[in-house]
Amino acid sequence: MKAIVANTLIDGEVVYWNAGVWVTRFGQAQLFAEDEVAESALAKANQPTSVVDCYVIDVAEEEDGYAPTAYRERIKALGPQNHPQHGKQADGGHDIDLIKQAHGIARSAGRHALIKLKK
Amino acid sequence: MYRYDYIDRAFVEDRAAEFRGQVARRLAGEITEDQFKPLRLMNGLYLQLHAYMLRVSIPYGTLTPNQLRKLAWIARTYDKGYGHFTTRQNIQFHWIKLKDVPDILGHLADVEMHALQTSGNCIRNVTSDPRAGASADEIEDPRIWSEIIRQWAAIHPEFSFLPRKFKIAVTATAHDRTAARLHDIGLLMRKGRDGGVGFEVIVGGGMGRTPYVGPTIRDVLPAEHLLSYLEAVLRVYNRHGRRDNIYKARIKILVAQLGAEEFARQVEAEWAQIDHPAIDAPQAEVDRVRAAFAPPAFEAVTGRSDAFEAAKAASSSLARFARNNVHLHKQPGYAIVDISLKAPGETPGDATAEQMELVADLAERFSLGELRVTHEQNLVLPHVKLDDVAAVHAALAGAGLASANINLVSDIIACPGLDYCALANARAIPIAQDIALRFAAADQAENIGELKIKISGCINACGHHHVGHIGILGVDKKGEEFYQLSLGGSAAEDAEVGKILGPAIPADKVTDAVDHLVGVYLRERHAGERFIDTYRRVGLVPFKEAVYAEAH
């Protein structure tokens, strides 16, 4: 699965694409089963006046839902691990718990996609 | 300390206003991100994982109480109530919004601060000895020449687009607290044969992907010719440094490829044709800056404080603080007090707004209005009367700032790592926290003695892992965090790049590995030996065997 992540231009907050709007939680992100669909959504999502650093990430199926595959993307979805009260993790919720518990199958694909995009 | 004159003030205010316009145009869609990014980087504004990060310059690590109060206010108003002091003696704010940055730069300008040249391929913040002006053995206050370099380097038209970033460190004592040999240029103050002040010039040190201890290219450069000589070094680099490959663009690669001798020859040839009087700081300007760093008004007190001795006898925690954090001052009856930002379990280098305000108050009341930031991510009250050390200690203890661990195993340098940084491969902070908690017992830490652990979350080496007695480098193995250990590095006058111990180990094995390394040291050490001394005597093998024993 894939999702699209970015930071908002005006304040840098991490946001996820969902069918034409940006949402603030990974749990609300649109998931794409096919790479091509994600790539064509990216072209629409990458709006230079509202977001920066916009790219497709890999998403893995966990026991009870989905979480970003790469460790880096999980931190981006949660917040810094040294300050549990900072970032999106502070809000708690099922999607946050799920990302916190995700482990074991991490791959750097999110990062690689980022590098590819910048070519 | 140095105060802005009308030129400095106008320039900084001008640049803040200019950036306000640039941000407005970016938000209005009039310029693209590709056009805007170099502009924001020139103002110290990065995009990290969770937000923008603003890196504020603290020239040669010197702050006034009012400046620190302003940083605290910015932390509380525009960030999440804290800031992170860096290995470049700067401070970073990690939760900044682009729309707030023009206002923040305006507030910084009000207290003679800015974020210029804290990013980009230019001459970065000049770093210096955090004990400048307080050390008994310094030749002259190194901040005089650091400030002269700062003025020369500020928007230097020829050196604003170098092949890569450029870092200069200045120190004036035999013991190097600036990692000078690991800088693009390290300047070690020397007394010339004629009694004049000069510099040993080291060029081409650095960490990152390709670490080098820089070679000396000139034994003694008369200080009055410093700027023209730096101009010559930068010109040779600007002309021949590689712009085709970011990994080979630093001056260290050029110096290594040409050889120190040939590089020095080219610098001398360039220097010979430079119009020295046009570049070198005029004597009147040197005198003006020197006057700004005149010693503060020390009181005439005796070298021994009965009050301090009695307080130490009555309090073992004060006695411990005195042993580790309080250092000899050039002025009888005064001391240099290190404030550790490394309480075990906390984030190395972080200070809350309240902590910053407390330290600012202490500096005003007890340190003649002076404050410093160290490249090891701690703070310093440089001029504290021995009579006042107990009061300072008590105030620090009330704010969680009295950790008596300077230079000990828990005084760990760590970069922000993957918790914040867009470049990182692995986390650095939790590794540091875990190690520090393992060695939190103060008696044990003192028994182990000086041990410098430095952790970087990627090969760019902001956490100085190459020069840690124990260096720890985070690497990404298929998306999982692994850590490569190295031993025997040093950032001091005996600078050395550490040697890799063996294969990288998983995050949850790092603290155990450090424990094993310390165990070997305690077993093998001779009387008076620090960890690094024992390592140099016995070599890598016993340490390697201890860490990888389970694997065999």
Query: Is the per-residue pLDDT at B463 higher than 80?
Result: yes
B517-522: list long-range contacts, CB under 8 Å, 24+ apart: B517/B470, B517/B485, B517/B487, B517/B543, B517/B546, B517/B547, B518/B409, B518/B439, B518/B448, B518/B451, B519/B546, B520/B546, B521/B448, B521/B451, B522/B447, B522/B448
Mutate to test the interface with B, among A55, A82, A114 (most CBs of B within 10 A): A82
Query: Is the per-residue pLDDT at A115 higher than 80?
Result: no
Across the interface, whether the CB atoms of B49 and A72 are under 8 A apart is answered yes
Structure tokens at B193: 């044969």
Question: 3-state SS string over B6-54?
Answer: HHHHHHHHHHHHHHHHHHHHHHCCCCCHHHHHHHHHHCCEEECCCCEEE
Among A13, A76, A82, beta carbon nearest to B433 = A82
**Does domain B6-110 fall into CATH 3.40.80.10?**
no
Q: Note the residue count of chain B.
A: 552
Segment B477-518, tens digit of pLDDT: 877 889 999 999 999 999 999 999 999 999 999 999 999 999
Confidence of residue B17 (pLDDT cuts 50, 70, 90): very high
Query: Is the per-residue pLDDT at B141 higher than 70?
Result: yes
Query: Is the per-residue pLDDT at B552 higher than 80?
Result: no
Beta bridge partners of B55: B92
Confidence of residue B158 (pLDDT cuts 50, 70, 90): very high
pLDDT for res A97: 93
Mean pLDDT of chain B: 96
CA-nearest residue to B23 within chain A is: A10
Neighboring chain A residues of B48 at a CB cutoff of 8 Å? 12
Neighboring chain B residues of A11 at a CB cutoff of 8 Å? 51-52, 97-99
Q: Is the dihedral of CA B13, B15, B19, B21 positive or negative?
A: positive
The question of ipTM being above 0.90 is answered as yes
Are B216 and B167 in contact by the 8 Å Cβ rule? The answer is: no
Across the interface, whether the CB atoms of B52 and A11 are under 8 A apart is answered yes
- What distance in Å separates the CA atoms of residue B497 and residue B503, rounded to the nearest whole number? 18
Structure tokens at B257: 């490829």
- What distance in Å separates the CA atoms of residue B354 and residue B504, rounded to the nearest whole number? 39
- What distance in Å separates the CA atoms of residue A58 and residue A106, rounded to the nearest whole number? 10
Fold of the B418-551 domain: Sulfite Reductase Hemoprotein; domain 1 (3.30.413)
Q: Is B132 on the interface with A (CB under 8 A)?
A: no
Across the interface, whether the CB atoms of B418 and A49 are under 8 A apart is answered no
**Residue B262 burial (10 A CB sphere; 0-12, 13-18, 19+):** exposed
pLDDT for res A105: 44
Neighboring chain A residues of B427 at a CB cutoff of 8 Å? 75, 81
B504-527 burial, b at 16+ Cβ within 10 Å, e below that, comes to bbebeebbebbebbbebbeeebee
Across the interface, whether the CB atoms of A12 and B96 are under 8 A apart is answered yes
Q: Is B538 on the interface with A (CB under 8 A)?
A: no
Largest pairwise CA distance in chain B: 68
Same fold across B6-110 and B418-551 = no
Confidence of residue A106 (pLDDT cuts 50, 70, 90): very low
Are A40 and B80 in contact by the 8 Å Cβ rule? The answer is: no
Total-model pTM: 0.95
- What distance in Å separates the CA atoms of residue B113 and residue B128, rounded to the nearest whole number? 17
Segment B258-283, tens digit of pLDDT: 999 999 999 999 999 999 999 999 99
H or E segment at B185?
strand B185-191
pLDDT for res B269: 98
Structure tokens at B199: 């510099």
Neighboring chain B residues of A77 at a CB cutoff of 8 Å? none
Fold of the B142-292 domain: Sulfite Reductase Hemoprotein; domain 1 (3.30.413)
- What distance in Å separates the CA atoms of residue B321 and residue B316, rounded to the nearest whole number? 9
Q: Which of B11, B355, B421, B55 is nearest to A75 (CA)?
A: B421
Q: Is B49 on the interface with A (CB under 8 A)?
A: yes
Neighboring chain A residues of B29 at a CB cutoff of 8 Å? 48-49
Among B99, B347, B480, beta carbon nearest to A10 = B99
Confidence of residue A87 (pLDDT cuts 50, 70, 90): very high
Across the interface, whether the CB atoms of B481 and A71 are under 8 A apart is answered yes
Question: How far is the alpha carbon of A19 from chain B, nearest alpha carbon, in Å?
Answer: 22
**Does domain B311-398 fall into CATH 3.90.480.20?**
yes
Q: Is B420 on the interface with A (CB under 8 A)?
A: yes
Spatial CB neighbours of B134, under 8 Å, sequence gap ≥ 6:
B329, B330, B331, B334, B336, B382, B383
Q: Which of B299, B292, B374, B370 is nearest to B331 (CA)?
A: B299
- SS3 call for A23: strand
Query: Is the per-residue pLDDT at A113 higher than 70?
Result: no
Structure tokens at A117: 């995009």
Neighbours of A11 (CB within 10 A): 14
pLDDT for res B480: 81
Across the interface, whether the CB atoms of A75 and B418 are under 8 A apart is answered yes
Q: Provide the residue ranges of all domains of chain B, joining segments of one domain with +.
A: 6-110, 142-292, 311-398, 418-551
